[in-house]
Structure 1
Amino acid sequence: MAGGSRGGRGGKGKAFRGKGNKGGGRDVRTEPWGETTRENELFESYYKLGGFLDEEEFRKMWATLATNLPNSFRFTGTKADALAVREIFKQRYIPGITAVTFEGQPVNAPEPVQAFPDELVWHMKTDKKVIRRFAPFAEFQKFLVAETTSGNISRQEVVSMIPPHFLDVKPGMVVLDMCAAPGSKSAQLAEMIHGDEEERVKRAANNQAPSIDGEGDYSDDGRSTGLLIANDTDYKRAGMLVHQVKRLNFPNLIVTQHDAAIFPSIELPVPEGSKKQYLKYDRILADVPCSGDGTARKNVNVWQKWTPRDGLGLHNLQLRILFRGLQMLKKGGRLVYSTCSMNPIENEAVIASAIENCGGVSKVQLVDCSDHLPNLIRKPGLNTWKVLDTTQVPGEEKTAHMFTSWETFLNTKEKYEKEDPDRHFSNKIYPGVFPPPIAPSEEERIPLERCIRVYPHLQDTGGFFVAVLEKLSDIKVTQIRNSYNAAEELKGKASTEEIEIDLEIEQDIEPGGPSSGVSSSQVPPLKRKLDDIDEPLPSKKAKNESANEQAESTPTIAGGSEGFIPPVDELSQAEKSTTPVNGAAKSEDSKPTSDAVRPTKLKPEAQNNNKEYFEYLPSDDPTVDSILSFFGISSRFPRDRFMVKNKQGLLLNKIYYTSELARTIISQNKDRGMRFIHCGVVMFVAHKIKAQDHIKAPWRLQNEGIRILEPWAKNRIITCKSSNTLYKLLIEMFPKLPKDGSHNLAEIGDQLNETDIGCCFLRIEQDDEAGFPFPMVLPLWRHPGSANLMVDKDDRKAILLRLFNEANPNIINHVAEQAKAAEDARKEVENGDKEAVNGGNDAEDADADTPMVVDA
């Protein structure tokens, strides 16, 4: 909708007033977190009077919002591994916890969240004082920490797990997570992209068809051809994201650092002389920065800092991010927009504005997902809502105003400009924040009821909003003049400066008039701290702080009065959907780039401002070739996906492996200014020992990448069939392998005696009777006189706890003991020498003090 107002239905309404205390933008809380008063009557009144829930259900919701959030977690990784770890958890820890009683009552044990399938998501509502008192909870906590470190468990809020499910990601899809930090949702998406890849790769390596059921694209010899690009605008938060996703060891993953609202177009290689092609995405997640008022159960700061202008200040940024996502989406692709806010200005208003600006429901439609996650209790999206704002005249009380339509706002604003010119309304109110007008026909109506609202009381969670959008056709946006709003434009005013309001005055609320639909008895008195009223509150995840600043000065897309030309690749050409196939580009709806709107040009920074460099090795690199030959890797395993992370492309310490599409994207875009901060799984690490000259391949396999390589290996495979032998390797570092062939490593020692010095695959097949609940492969180094699992201490402890229930293992390290003994001996000799020296000095001193007798 290029022009005109977007006023909703509703008449005039009187303002209502609320009391507030002094406060500022900073955290003014003085009491401890656990003692923070969970009350905010302006916050409460908006959700009570705004028509979200009926009165009885609102009371249930609000009471739940004021309680602590249950702890929740999810079993991760391949489905087979996740189910196996889940069973260990259920059989070992649940019985002990359920046997605990407190004050004569059984405690609340962890239980599966019914909204999700396969009992892979659990939450725990047990009080902390109970958890601290009883041993079964301490044992469970150690298990939780160990498995989280090893990547088998993700500690994540329940509502945060919902958006990836609605994306319906299949292996082989290209997915973008626009605002990804801290990374829990990205981890879910990565798992979906890879699917049951390991099983299919094994089939392919054994010359069997990898496509078992036709689900997903495994045409790369059983490997998923898909890719996840996880992005965040802040470098530190992107670092958190890297830490989260690195545990999963997925090569089909790139982490970038860009402002989501102007995320750069990713160029794809094309034949020389051809027009440029840009990556389009099958699925996009836009979990945007928001006011986060749905997180009030865990983020108690919300209770003190909530203002109606939080949502108003973020609406523009959210809309820009959503529109950029829709531009980059393929036709037929799906985008999920989500927030942890309950505010319709950040939710339904953003969805309606985006669809209108894209050309209506014939271009972008809301998907009906009522049959997806059927056990998730939800409420439909809103088709009508009210907009709340507060104003103040210096020295007077602050007044809260509830508007039902754009026209109501204009009339009220005009009235106050005449009667009370010192009173200022937020300049973030414009037609797009109100409900859309009545559509000419049902076919043209935006069915906002298809959005999904999850309230805290429905299944004991936080508050959350999800909308699933499908792109049906090309979208275009024309330039819209940047003006304050329609009313200001009519008056010829051009000012767009934000009005800074810091004063807080106590007030009473005035009951709403006809537009509020409530009586004075329904309106509670309001008290609140009014903090930097015109500035948006940072979101649940202060995800896009720099983008928030940019939003203050960037024209918006709105239903009529404010707008912008998105600084993106090819709006007239925006839907040139390109799907990479084997590193090339397959064009869909290709159109020439118009003269008016050209692709975003990135500065060729050549990664000068980045922490990492990504240089791919040639497919015939002799070092890589010698390593792969040493392990007997099949010639079918790709040779052109290995890279190093130094500017010169030198083989210094680590060699990484990535997917084909990741290689294509990084190679094509690394010199265009794209900020890549993570890609690749460590496959090999340089191994330096005294017998270096006697090693055919002085590189060791790395635990992160070994499972990718192992199905293709024919050499240096050591098979473990006994849990006792594995236990010894885990509990003892560098167990001896004497030259005479004697050892106490059973079948592993026998095989190692026939093996040259160097790294090996330790293969462990699934065998429930032997105590192996799922298959494993670990790197094992054969030293001249010993062996050692190349697994770090945390992973050793996690495996010992998982398989052998060893909560506090004493890991023996023979090399460290020998080094300590040598150091102690050296110090002892050194101390002995010092004593000898000191003794000699004492004798000299004694002689010096003795009088000399001279004979006459």
Structure 2
Amino acid sequence: MGRGGSRGGGRGGRGGRKPFRGGNKNNRSGGRDNRTESWLDQPRKNELFESYYRMGGFLDEAEFEQMWKSLASDLPNSFRFTGTKSDALAVREIFKERYIPAITAMDFEGQPVEPPKAVEAFPDELVWDMKTHKKIVRRHAPFADFQKFLVAEAASGNISRQEVVSMIPPHFLDVKPGMVVLDMCAAPGSKSAQLAEMIHGDEEERVKKAANNESPNTDDGGDYSDDGRSTGLLIANDTDYKRAGMLVHQVKRLNFPNLIVTQHDASIFPSIELPTGKNGRKQYLKFDRILADVPCSGDGTARKNPNVWGKWTPKDGLGLHNLQLRILFRGLQMLKKGGRLVYSTCSMNPTENESVIAAAIQACGGVSKVQLVDCSDYLPNLKRKPGLNTWKIMDTSTVPGSNDKTAHLFSSWDAFVKAQAKYEKEEPERVFSNKIMPGVFPPIASSEEERIPLERCVRVYPHLQDTGGFFIAVLEKLDDIKVGQITSSNNEASLLQAKTESETATPANAGEMEVDVTEPPTESAPEAGNQSPLKRKLEDTEDAEAEAKRTKTSDTTAELPAPQTEEATPVEATSTTITSAPPPTKEVTKLKSEQQSQSKEHFEYLAADDPNIAAILDFFGISSRFPRDRFMVKNKEGLLLNKLYYTSALAKTIISANKHRGMKFIHCGVITFVAHKIKDKDLMRAPWRLQNEGIRIVEPWANKRIVNCTSKATLHKLLIEMFPKLPRDGSHDIGEVGDQLKDMEIGCCFVRIEQSAGEDGFPFRMVLPLWRHPGSANLMVDKDDRKAMLLRLFNEKDPDIKNHVADKAKAVEAAKANGGGEEMEVEEAERELEEAKEEEGGDADAVAGAVEDVQEV
């Protein structure tokens, strides 16, 4: 809507987290779900899962019962209004005024129906959830209308369907416009979209001021020094090819030029090179903010992911601890001094949460180097619990060749070592996990000054505000760090060291809890204060293939770069977010020099004095202040053939400096102009179309080809009809727009629609591209976006969009069939059809089969 009625792309993917299920180590959804039963048929029980969270020291008994009841219930549907804040608020108001009253007026079986409600934890009523049962939704028309609105606005990029807890981490990053931000594990892209919105801020309003020679007003902490444009950048990364594709699909809808999508393993994300400074030293990008939303076991997603109930095991979290730690290490290395990193998971397991945070801080040199930030001021209405300072680690041991699986709870590394020693003597065939390391247990501080205040972490449990489970920690880098090397992901070396330190093993004490059980465990919950049995015979519920994937993933972890000391010398560059650092000392963070392969996108920037760019910008009257050197094409020859993309200055710097170093760039740039390929293009001064995605980027700087639409009736006519007639001599029925177009030469133009009050006013500002044909005019908005705008602005649910070109083709065909019709009429229909196909990107649906009709004529 805010970006010309559509933000491009197709329908947005649903938000939320994908828990790690084997496969590629950074792919949260690598495992294939082969279930045949429905979600309703999946039992929401798992004795091992329940025992750990009941006895692991997380919540008192009464609150645990509340949490567990919530975890076993359905998750409410939630969504977020997206895009620029002004646009988001405008769409929100339409939603509140049109759909909420209709749903509120309903009742079901004599009881009022609960309408969608704003989630109090988030500001400005931009996040909503709906708890209405599906059987009610399916039976009532107001919900059908509401669903149609959600689908249309999600496709247009104005709404993102995303889980509530998934929206929290970007708010805790405290991103300001102008910052350089990295999202390390970004797919499917809902959080990246939030970060991109924060980086751009309200730059559209500031650009308008700058274009009118007014100050863009940069006193709110943001950097809009680029003529009102935000100088910041978001790099969104994911290692898996398919998930990276989902990520591109999600962020493309936003049409933000300050965005790059990459495909790399987050734990060894490559250093990004910058142009050499005046001192001749290589420079590397440092980030103001980093989001490490790492792969996890996903047990906090049990309300929407039935696999959790069927397959939860403590080995999931233990197997991921090492990978999560390496991702966090790498993020801290790339963070600038004074910068902040948010670490988050959709797991409640401290093995993946507090233990990772504590191990990372210790490895970086302690709290004098990296500190946990008190984030109680962020989202103050969010109900939360503090992080844990003590916890227990669960493991299941097995005896090969039998169905015996025994559960254990360990309170310390020492207790685990003693238990190992005990069983080596008494039951040497019993096998424990090799993923239990000293670092998964609560840290022991030598003094209060060295204590890591893990209570500053944030835990969100399902019962607090009817959500999934989530963990968030905010880390601030205080000084240069020297990160130690992780040599192994198993505990063999640590156990060997522990054994050499103690010649005689002592039997396990209270640090390990276990109870033998010969009968199946009871389904009833134990009374408060009683311990439930933890040693039990279990049927092996693990899918063999998934287990093999998880084992392989856990055992094939890579190493961190060798220890290196960072330097704090500032880089002499245009951005204050960049600092100088020595090159990495290991190949894992270096990139081999290589040319872009045929399978990759090519990003080639055109020269600032390119005559084609000059001609295009002159045709539309684009101010000379608008940068000419940020346009790129996506072919290796660097030829201006079809589409012209615009990027930010920093995006250009990074792409240009790293595209031949092996960096996997898979998306950058916003389509701004597209070649208009028709037979008579030589008769036009600029055979290029303004593109819906990028029109708002150049429009503030234009002083030609501008048409003002002031009437809702006129806009309705342009939306409901494709190619309404506009002869040079004669009448038309497209109001003030037609009057302004009558004497305008053939080509594309801007249609400005300003926000205005009153019954005939517009609730928000829009800019749309329109093509002036010799005998007609046409908004270059595809059919789905036309329908979305007709629904949004005029509440038309199933509009019948007329296509005059298709109608004309059919009329000519009928005339020919009857022996009538003129050759000139056929040629005119063919020409208009060719232009129509070009405008709609060759989509046959746009001309409703008229191509075939004309071919038959």
Tell whether the structures are fold-level matches, with TM greater than 0.5: yes
Q: Which amino acid aligns with 2:466?
A: D
Q: Which amino acid aligns with 1:804?
A: F
CA contact (8 A) 1:171 1:217 kept: yes
* Correspondence list, 1:354-753, <5 A: 354-393=360-399, 394-395=401-402, 397-437=404-444, 439-479=445-485, 482=488, 484-489=492-497, 508=519, 519-520=530-531, 529-531=540-542, 551-554=554-557, 564-566=559-561, 571-573=564-566, 578=571, 580-581=573-574, 588=579, 590=580, 600-608=589-597, 610-753=599-742
CA RMSD of aligned residues (A): 2.7
State the Cα deviation string for residues 793-847 of structure 1 (Å, max 9, x = none): 11111111111111111101111222344456678899xxxxxxxxxxxxxxxxx
State the Cα deviation string for residues 495-540 of structure 1 (Å, max 9, x = none): xxxxxxxxxx9965899xxxx99634687988665316997799xx
Q: Which residue is equivalent to 1:19?
A: none
State the Cα deviation string for residues 432-484 of structure 1 (Å, max 9, x = none): 111111x1222210000000000000000000000000000000024465572
State the Cα deviation string for residues 153-190 of structure 1 (Å, max 9, x = none): 11000000000000000000000000000000000000
Pick which of 794-803 and 781-790 moved more: 794-803
Q: For the residues of structure 2 that align with 1:90 and 1:821, how far apart are their CA atoms?
A: 45
State the Cα deviation string for residues 194-229 of structure 1 (Å, max 9, x = none): 000000000000000001534300000000000000
Q: Which of residues 167, 171, 174 in structure 1 aligns to 2:177?
A: 171
Q: For the residues of structure 2 that align with 1:591 and 1:305, how far apart are their CA atoms?
A: 44
Q: Which of residues 744, 747, 772 in structure 2 aligns to 1:782?
A: 772
**Partner-residue secondary structure (3-state), 2:492:** coil
CA contact (8 A) 2:385 2:459 kept: yes
Q: For the residues of structure 1 that align with 2:774 and 2:275, how far apart are their CA atoms?
A: 48
How many residues were matched structurally?
768
Q: Which residue is equivalent to 1:817?
A: 807
Q: Which residue is equivalent to 1:311?
A: 317
**Partner-residue secondary structure (3-state), 1:485:** helix
Pick which of 526-535 and 97-106 moved more: 526-535
Q: For the residues of structure 2 that align with 1:575 and 1:35, how far apart are their CA atoms?
A: 58
The 3 A distance-change label for structure 1 pair 522 and 312 is closer
The answer on 1:110 being equivalent to 2:116 is yes
**Partner-residue secondary structure (3-state), 1:761:** strand
Q: For the residues of structure 1 that align with 2:358 and 2:569, how far apart are their CA atoms?
A: 25
Q: Which amino acid aligns with 1:92?
A: R
Q: For the residues of structure 1 that align with 2:162 and 2:181, how far apart are their CA atoms?
A: 21
CA contact (8 A) 2:267 2:330 kept: yes
Q: For the residues of structure 2 that align with 1:829 and 1:310, how far apart are their CA atoms?
A: 76
The 3 A distance-change label for structure 1 pair 39 and 253 is same
CA contact (8 A) 2:567 2:582 kept: no
Structure 1 stretches of 5 or more lacking a match? Answer: 1-24, 494-504, 539-544, 556-563, 831-856
Q: Which amino acid aligns with 2:566?
A: Q
TM-superposed deviation, 1:131: 0.5
CA contact (8 A) 2:277 2:573 kept: no
CA contact (8 A) 1:573 1:591 kept: yes
The answer on 1:807 being equivalent to 2:797 is yes
**Partner-residue secondary structure (3-state), 1:762:** strand
The answer on 1:351 being equivalent to 2:357 is yes
Q: For the residues of structure 1 that align with 2:728 and 2:163, how far apart are their CA atoms?
A: 55
Q: Which residue is equivalent to 2:93?
A: 87
State the Cα deviation string for residues 547-568 of structure 1 (Å, max 9, x = none): x95652236xxxxxxxx5426x
Q: Which amino acid aligns with 2:45?
A: E
Which protein has the larger Cα radius of gyration, Structure 1 or Structure 2?
1
**Partner-residue secondary structure (3-state), 1:466:** strand
CA contact (8 A) 1:75 1:86 kept: yes
* Correspondence list, 1:280-295, <5 A: 280-295=286-301
CA contact (8 A) 1:98 1:109 kept: yes
CA contact (8 A) 1:399 1:507 kept: no
**Partner-residue secondary structure (3-state), 2:138:** helix
Q: Which of residues 123, 127, 136 in structure 2 aligns to 1:130?
A: 136
Q: Which of residues 226, 229, 240 in structure 1 aligns to 2:232?
A: 226
TM-superposed deviation, 1:733: 0.4
CA contact (8 A) 1:631 1:713 kept: yes
CA contact (8 A) 1:42 1:527 kept: no
State the Cα deviation string for residues 549-602 of structure 1 (Å, max 9, x = none): 5652236xxxxxxxx5426xx8223666658516xx8864x46559x6689321
TM-superposed deviation, 1:606: 1.8
Using CA pairs below 8 Å that are at least 6 residues apart, which structure has the higher relative contact order? 1
Q: For the residues of structure 1 that align with 2:359 and 2:100, how far apart are their CA atoms?
A: 48
Q: Which residue is equivalent to 1:39?
A: 45
Pick which of 122-131 and 733-742 moved more: 733-742
Q: For the residues of structure 1 that align with 2:693 and 2:236, how far apart are their CA atoms?
A: 19
TM-score, structure 1 as length reference:
0.86
Q: For the residues of structure 2 that align with 1:227 and 1:507, how far apart are their CA atoms?
A: 60
Q: Which of residues 238, 248, 258 in structure 2 aligns to 1:242?
A: 248
Q: Which residue is equivalent to 2:79?
A: 73
Q: Which residue is equivalent to 2:209?
A: 203
Q: Which amino acid aligns with 1:639?
A: R
Q: For the residues of structure 2 that align with 1:534 and 1:404, how far apart are their CA atoms?
A: 32
Q: Which amino acid aligns with 2:496?
A: E
Q: For the residues of structure 2 that align with 1:146 and 1:532, how far apart are their CA atoms?
A: 39
**Partner-residue secondary structure (3-state), 1:457:** helix
**Partner-residue secondary structure (3-state), 2:589:** coil
**Partner-residue secondary structure (3-state), 1:581:** coil
Q: Sequence identity of aligned pairs in percent?
A: 71
Pick which of 806-815 and 210-219 moved more: 210-219
Q: Which amino acid aligns with 1:91?
A: E
Q: Which amino acid aligns with 2:346?
A: C
Q: For the residues of structure 2 that align with 1:716 and 1:53, how far apart are their CA atoms?
A: 65
Q: For the residues of structure 2 that align with 1:509 and 1:609, how far apart are their CA atoms?
A: 59
TM-superposed deviation, 1:688: 2.0
CA contact (8 A) 1:716 1:760 kept: yes
State the Cα deviation string for residues 685-721 of structure 1 (Å, max 9, x = none): 1112343121110000000000010000000000000
CA contact (8 A) 2:383 2:465 kept: yes
Q: For the residues of structure 2 that align with 1:330 and 1:774, how far apart are their CA atoms?
A: 39
CA contact (8 A) 1:175 1:284 kept: yes
CA contact (8 A) 2:481 2:566 kept: no
Q: For the residues of structure 2 that align with 1:336 and 1:34, how far apart are their CA atoms?
A: 35
CA contact (8 A) 1:613 1:646 kept: yes
**Partner-residue secondary structure (3-state), 1:316:** helix
The answer on 1:771 being equivalent to 2:766 is no
Q: For the residues of structure 2 that align with 1:715 and 1:101, how far apart are their CA atoms?
A: 55
CA contact (8 A) 2:404 2:538 kept: no
TM-superposed deviation, 1:396: 5.0
CA contact (8 A) 2:277 2:283 kept: no
The 3 A distance-change label for structure 1 pair 481 and 34 is closer
TM-score, structure 2 as length reference:
0.86
The 3 A distance-change label for structure 1 pair 598 and 308 is closer
**Partner-residue secondary structure (3-state), 2:348:** coil
**Partner-residue secondary structure (3-state), 1:683:** strand
